[in-house]
Amino acid sequence: MSSTINQNPEQIARDRIDTMLREAGWTVQSKNKVDLSVSRGVTVREYLIDVGPADYVLFVNRKPVGIIGAKREDEGHRLTGVEDPSSNYANAKLKYLNNDPLPFVYESTGTITRFIDYRDPKPRVRNVLWFHKPETIADWLKKGKSLRKRLLSLPDVDETGLRPAQIVAVNNLEHSFKKNRPKALIQMATGAGKTLTAATFVYRLLKHADAKRILFLVDTKNLGEQAEQEFMTFQPNDDNRKLTELYNVQL
């Protein structure tokens, strides 16, 4: 049975982080026994970088992709912004490697974990429940640009079949996304076609921004069934197939 007796706060935090990483599919290694070929995702403890040893360096398919800064439990309230040391981590140069900037930075106490994707136009801290899987990061890197970066290149809305209020709603929502605002409120009158508006921007996010999944949440079963019917009959202007023939729609 494991025990935290005689462990200092830093060691306790690192034990938790080790467990989280392993459960997410990472192989955790010591800096003295590095073998990047053992699995798709390898985490190396205390890897040397130009500003000193990093707590953890993440490798996916043998390439460095991120860094984790380990913090004591009582330092959780300090995990606040994209400022130092996170930016230093992202621009760190690894010993023996001529690496590019590392796009993914975590800071964690093992209880509180925060994440920054430096590929975003305006990187910001996000609370996450766990570390991402190596497969997830590999998929992100394969796509190249982050979702927030892809939102910047959404094409103009085809206004065919849309009412003026719907056109304004979709355009303003996408303008808000491009300004890096993660929250938005669309206010439309009853009968103005809110669900069709939602189907329009959902389709655009899936096709043009390559969004992975979108949750459409309502507060009654009846409204959910109505929304499902609207999505099932929705046909985009740039495709002869219905939305449900292009993407999975589940109630």
Is the confidence at residue 2, as pLDDT, over 60? no
Q: 88 near 53, Cβ under 8 Å? A: no
Q: For residues 119-123, give the mean pLDDT.
A: 92
Question: What was the pLDDT predicted at 79?
Answer: 53
The region, left, alpha or beta by phi > 0 then psi within -120 to 50, assigned to residue 56 is: beta
**Which pLDDT band, with edges at 50, 70 and 90, does 97 fall under?**
confident
Question: What was the pLDDT predicted at 12?
Answer: 86
List the beta strands (DSSP E) in the chain: 27-29, 41-45, 48-49, 52-53, 56-60, 63-70, 104-108, 113-117, 126-128
Is the confidence at residue 144, as pLDDT, over 80? yes
Q: Looking at 79-88, 142-151, 162-171, which range is the least confident one?
A: 79-88
Domain 9-143 annotated CATH 3.40.920.10:
no
User: 159 CB contacts (<8 Å, ≥6 apart)?
Assistant: 167
Per residue in 44-83, pLDDT (tens digit) is 999 888 878 889 999 999 999 999 999 887 665 555 544 4
Average pLDDT, the chain: 89
Is the confidence at residue 19, as pLDDT, over 90? yes
List the beta strands (DSSP E) in 76-163: 104-108, 113-117, 126-128
Question: What was the pLDDT predicted at 80?
Answer: 52
Is the confidence at residue 177, as pLDDT, over 70? yes
Q: Measured between alpha carbons, how far is 49 from 97 in angstroms, rounded to an integer?
A: 10
Q: Domain residue spans in the chain?
A: 9-143, 148-246
